[in-house]
Amino acid sequence: DTGVSQDPRHKITKRGQNVTFRCDPISEHNRLYWYRQTLGQGPEFLTYFQNEAQLEKSRLLSDRFSAERPKGSFSTLEIQRTEQGDSAMYLCASSHSGGAPAQYFGPGTRLTVL
């Protein structure tokens, strides 16, 4: 399968714990995006990378959130000191900066904070 992949697919954690999610984009795509989706809402933008550079961060991305893409391939999203309000689906998408602007999504990581 050459689509976007995410790991883990589900994560249950206790409030205050740290969690890390991984995203592997489509191999020829140099742009990688993170979104968050809660029930009944559309996905909301968090941040994106072009190659290894983080080009934009949403105000939704508090200082407890950090994202990296160290080699311009896979990316990680870490949430420190999780809160119940962090419970959501975390979606990763990718695209190519020189191609069509449509983005292709991975299956998401569903986070539940108890």
Partner 1 sequence: RKEVEQDPGPFNVPEGATVAFNCTYSNSASQSFFWYRQDCRKEPKLLMSVYSSGNEDGRFTAQLNRASQYISLLIRDSKLSDSATYLCVVNRGGNEKLTFGTGTRLTIIP
At 37, which helix (H) or strand (E)?
strand 31-37
Query: Which residue in 25, 67, 77, 108 binds partner 1 (CB under 8 A)?
Result: 108
Please identify, among the stretches 18-26, 33-41, 64-72, 76-84, the one whose residues bind partner 1 according to the rule CB under 8 A.
33-41
Residue 28 binds to partner 1 (criterion: CB under 8 A): no
Residue 50 C-alpha from the chain's centroid:
14
Residue 97 binds to partner 1 (criterion: CB under 8 A): yes
**Residue 82 or 94 with smaller CB distance to partner 1:** 94
Residue 109 binds to partner 1 (criterion: CB under 8 A): no
SS percent in the chain: helix, strand, coil, step 5? 5, 50, 50
Q: For the segment 39-78, give every residue that binds partner 1 (CB under 8 A).
A: 40-45, 48, 56, 58
| 86 Rama class: left (phi>0) / alpha (psi -120 to 50) / beta | alpha
CB 91 within 8 A of CB 105: yes
Residue 106 binds to partner 1 (criterion: CB under 8 A): yes
Query: Which residue in 23, 25, 33, 49 binds partner 1 (CB under 8 A)?
Result: 33
